[in-house]
Structure 1
Amino acid sequence: MVRCFASLCLSLFFGLVQAQAAETPAAPPGEVTASNYSANLMQLYRESRLEDPRVLAAYARAQAGKEREREAFGGLLPQVTASSSFNRTNRDVETYTESFNNERYALSLSQHLYNKQAWENYQEFKSRARQGEFEAIDAQAEATVDLAQRYFVALASDDELELVMAERRATQKNLDRVEALYEKQLAMVTDVLDLRARVDALAAQEVEARNQVRVSREELSEIIGRPVQEKLSRIREDIELQVPGESVTVWVERALAANPALKAQEQALAAAEAAFREGKGGHYPSLSLNLSAQRSDVGYDNTLAPRSDSYVASIGVQVPIYSGGSTSARSRALYQDRLATEQQMEALRRQVVKETTSAYLTAQASVEKIRATRNALDSAERSRVAAERGFEFGVVNSVDVLTSVQNEYSARRDLLKAQYDFITNLLVLNRWAGRLSEQSVENVNMWLARNEEARALERKTTE
């Protein structure tokens, strides 16, 4: 009997499980929904590298620079041309008429032996190509920082919505308690009105917060190239955010040596110097070697002549004497362009120093702010609990409870914002120091919670 009863219970249990599984619609194979997937910074970074138009355009310009370098180098190599012609001639003379065919074939080769303008032109485009490569690296770094900023803005919008909803629930809970006391004539009507006004204000804030969530997701979608609807991984609570151990002087020196934008400007200066030398090359003589071979049976005035083969080797010298002053004017203009590029490089160098120092000091201050806001949150939580208990005993009024709740959630917002600001400034610091890479994003991504950890944090926030 016992075995039969146990078998019956098991069959009923599995029947219920199968029925529930049949009622629950299964997701199609390969479909990812927002309920079972959480996107992190590294995943969006890899997508943006393939979809961000700014990055793709920068690398396209870099590739175009390489091709222009190859084009300029081709001007230094031998130039070979071939030509041919075929003529049909009819000649009418007083005594006779004749018709005949003419053919001519020619092959020529020309090689610069000395041409300063052609050589400096190649040096200019060689530097331009290197400039494009560094500009592409800088564009990737700038786009990465922009992605991180938009990611944390979206995350802050999600946090703001959840905090507003949580504050509204807490305030509504206190309102329900005060209304119950008011019905028993144990609370004042002003307490009820104050809490009800706060609940209504939080409802309005919730509408604005939901709108901001949608706006921030659209900003992410602009970079990724697709709608970003999945949940975003949050910052883990079991990590200790710290500033790198090196001093600000070390970071500034590192930035001056490795910043890609500064390196690109250095190549721009080298290109401007080469262009200036090219302009001065207009005063220099040029030397070239020319080889040609020709087979022809065309005589004077397209007459028919015996076929002949001719081979010519020549060395040509060209000496510029006077061009109306245009060569000198072009040289002076290119010299001023070089001076302007030099000043732009100096301005960028100062900007690199300023931005690196500012990012380092801001990140360092953010660590202290995180520590202070975490202590403020602990104090605010204890203050709110004490205020709620004091209200139960009639020691404090509803305004004090309302203020304590507002202080607690304000401290939560400050803590999250301080964490986001620290990570963003750390990425900015690495960007200006020329150290922002995929590994840097991966290191930051390790501070974000995985799916299970994120759900645990959500439950904690909801509670």
Structure 2
Amino acid sequence: MIVRRLFPCLMLSLLSVQIQAAEVKIAEPATAKPPATSVSAKTYTADLLSLYRESRLEDPRVLASYARNLASQAHADEAFGSLLPQITAQAGGNRIKQTNELQDQVYNSENYSISLSQALYNKAAWENYQKYKKTIKQTESESVEAQAEAALDLAQRYFAALAADDELELTEAELRTNQGSLDRVNALYAKQLAMITDVLDLRARVDTLAAQAVDDRNQVRVSRAALSEIVGRPVTEKLSRIRTDAQFKVSDQSLDTWVQNALQENPTLKANIAAVDVAEAGVRGGNAGHYPTLALQLSAQNTNEGYNNALAPKTDSYVAGLVLQVPIYSGGSTSARVRGLVQDQISAEQQLEATRRQVVKETTNAYLTADSNVEKMRANVNALNSATQASIASQKSFAYGVVNAVDVLNATQAEFKARRDLLKTQYDFITNLFVLNRWAGKVSTESVESVNAWLSNNSTTDPVPVPDRKSKQ
């Protein structure tokens, strides 16, 4: 009897020594396991960079911002045109009948004219042109911001789709693992070597995972639909996953350096600075309504029509003159317009200050969050190693009768939770890095390429590391 009682304890001690001596590997069980049953990574053909290049040609936000920039350039050309000479030509013909006491005649008259007007001093037109020049800078920065926002949105949806794929594979792998445990417990229960509570606990977990798999499959479809919205086509191909040998690092630059760069390069901040300049030009243009205007006018005319539409010999007339207009009173509309423009300027200045504060806050948050994600990934790797070894130990201990099925169930849940936490932290890190680059004004093709280097290409892709153990009964 004593030997029978001590035998399980002895086996558990030997097992514990073996686990501690096992070599630690990232996201790998401590003992050998069959190859993963997930889809081969070589079938992954779409990566973040390829989808980014497609989205730049298909995303309506990017195309709309580009159109707004072209429109502002056209408006600036229009405003500049008002400063150049205005030339018009006119030709006309009349059928005239004149009747009086002396005569009753019908005749045709012709007139041809050309005129030129050149503004010599028009402050309102000049300030209007300056306003539209500033508007070009504003829409250019807004276009850059739209591209950065679209790139960030694409990255978030890309990794959300990856996370959905991972969650489905992990749920199915956990379902297979628990189903295997349930089969073993059912066999033991048939031999009266296991309790009914163990069978019920495992069966409940298997049923829960089966229901969860249904939700996960739906989430995969939903996440792909969100990704397809940006790319402009159905995204059905496999997505490249994060390389297992990827080395994550935020930057060698300090937080203060990132904040200072963001205050200089953030496109939203640049757009707000340009908006303040536009508002200032608008105020100057409004005040110009109180200023006089001076224009040069030249004209030439050829006609056979005289005074009171009388028939006359064809005559050429040439006129040169200066036109001075002095605004005296317009019912107070000019002053009211200036007051409104001043308030618009104050609003733009306050918006600029709000954006400046937001840039500092968001840059700081993104930097600190990304930096903490790196530390969290290291902790998650350690947690996964421990959870994996604990899961293996619980399954072997269950085979020796040292632990019950609930202990195996809890250990399996802890292992898969650790795998989910590690993948989630990796995705959070990359998306936070995109957020940091966006606020720092660094989201571009180069930044997408640098992140894409962490993704596996068609020749070096690894599937989701999920265990698929088949323990002996």
Both proteins in one fold, TM over 0.5: yes
State the match for 1:308 in structure 2.
315
Indicate if the aligned counterparts of 2:169 and 2:464 stay in contact, CA closer than 8 A: no
> Do structure 1's residue 41 and structure 2's residue 39 form an aligned pair?
no
Q: What secondary structure sits across from 1:313 in the alignment? A: strand
> Do structure 1's residue 137 and structure 2's residue 132 form an aligned pair?
no
Displacement of 1:301: 1.6
CA distance in 2, matches of 1:36, 1:412: 23
Q: Which moved more, 1:80-89 or 1:255-264?
A: 80-89
AA at the equivalent of 2:176: R
> Do structure 1's residue 242 and structure 2's residue 249 form an aligned pair?
yes
Tell me which of 192, 201, 217 is aligned to 2:199: 192
Indicate if the aligned counterparts of 2:42 and 2:459 stay in contact, CA closer than 8 A: no
CA distance in 2, matches of 1:389, 1:433: 52
CA distance in 2, matches of 1:316, 1:97: 41
Q: Name the structure, 1 or 2, with higher relative contact order (CA <8 Å, separation 6+).
A: 2
CA distance in 2, matches of 1:410, 1:38: 28
Q: 5+ unaligned residues in a row in structure 1: which ranges?
A: 1-33
CA distance in 2, matches of 1:199, 1:93: 112
Q: What secondary structure sits across from 1:315 in the alignment? A: strand
State the match for 1:413 in structure 2.
420
Offset from partner CA, 1:252-306 (integer Å, 9 cap, x none): 0000000011101111100000000011111111111111111111111211111
User: What's the RMSD between the two structures over aligned residues?
Assistant: 1.5
Tell me which of 357, 366, 389 is aligned to 1:359: 366
State the match for 1:223 in structure 2.
230
- In the alignment of these two chains, the number of paired residues is 429
> Do structure 1's residue 327 and structure 2's residue 325 form an aligned pair?
no
Q: What secondary structure sits across from 1:112 in the alignment? A: strand
State the match for 1:425 in structure 2.
432
After TM superposition, list the pairs within 5 Å mapping 1:384-403 onto structure 2.
384-403=391-410
AA at the equivalent of 2:463: L
Q: What secondary structure sits across from 2:303 in the alignment? A: strand
State the match for 2:298 in structure 1.
291
AA at the equivalent of 1:134: S
State the match for 2:60 in structure 1.
53
Indicate if the aligned counterparts of 1:78 and 1:109 stay in contact, CA closer than 8 A: yes
Indicate if the aligned counterparts of 1:35 and 1:230 stay in contact, CA closer than 8 A: no
CA distance in 2, matches of 1:187, 1:210: 34
Q: What secondary structure sits across from 1:321 in the alignment? A: coil
State the match for 1:280 in structure 2.
287
After TM superposition, list the pairs within 5 Å mapping 1:415-454 onto structure 2.
415-454=422-461
State the match for 1:457 in structure 2.
463
CA distance in 1, matches of 2:119, 2:100: 48
Indicate if the aligned counterparts of 2:166 and 2:464 stay in contact, CA closer than 8 A: no
AA at the equivalent of 1:437: S
CA distance in 2, matches of 1:199, 1:323: 82
Aligned-pair identity in percent equals 61
Displacement of 1:240: 1.0
Indicate if the aligned counterparts of 2:263 and 2:360 stay in contact, CA closer than 8 A: yes
Indicate if the aligned counterparts of 1:171 and 1:402 stay in contact, CA closer than 8 A: yes
Q: 1:204 to 1:270 in 2, by over 3 A?
A: same
AA at the equivalent of 2:310: T
CA distance in 1, matches of 2:207, 2:308: 103
Indicate if the aligned counterparts of 1:191 and 1:399 stay in contact, CA closer than 8 A: yes
Indicate if the aligned counterparts of 2:243 and 2:454 stay in contact, CA closer than 8 A: yes
AA at the equivalent of 1:377: L
> Do structure 1's residue 370 and structure 2's residue 392 form an aligned pair?
no
CA distance in 1, matches of 2:465, 2:401: 32
CA distance in 2, matches of 1:144, 1:104: 62
Q: What secondary structure sits across from 2:318 in the alignment? A: strand
> Do structure 1's residue 165 and structure 2's residue 169 form an aligned pair?
no
CA distance in 2, matches of 1:264, 1:181: 71
Q: Which moved more, 1:398-407 or 1:284-293?
A: 284-293
Offset from partner CA, 1:14-33 (integer Å, 9 cap, x none): xxxxxxxxxxxxxxxxxxxx
State the match for 2:109 in structure 1.
102
Tell me which of 74, 84, 103 is aligned to 1:77: 84
Displacement of 1:95: 5.5
CA distance in 2, matches of 1:95, 1:295: 28
AA at the equivalent of 1:438: T
Displacement of 1:194: 1.1
After TM superposition, list the pairs within 5 Å mapping 1:18-29 onto structure 2.
none
> Do structure 1's residue 113 and structure 2's residue 124 form an aligned pair?
no
State the match for 2:15 in structure 1.
none
Displacement of 1:96: 4.6
CA distance in 2, matches of 1:58, 1:345: 20
Tell me which of 268, 273, 278 is aligned to 1:271: 278
After TM superposition, the score normalised by the length of structure 2 is 0.88
CA distance in 2, matches of 1:313, 1:125: 32
Indicate if the aligned counterparts of 2:44 and 2:240 stay in contact, CA closer than 8 A: no
CA distance in 2, matches of 1:362, 1:111: 60
CA distance in 1, matches of 2:58, 2:358: 29
Q: Which moved more, 1:277-286 or 1:86-95?
A: 86-95
Tell me which of 214, 222, 234 is aligned to 1:207: 214
Q: What secondary structure sits across from 2:88 in the alignment? A: strand
| Runs (4+) off by over 4 Å | 34-37, 93-96, 458-463
Q: 5+ unaligned residues in a row in structure 2: which ranges?
A: 1-40
Q: What secondary structure sits across from 1:453 in the alignment? A: coil
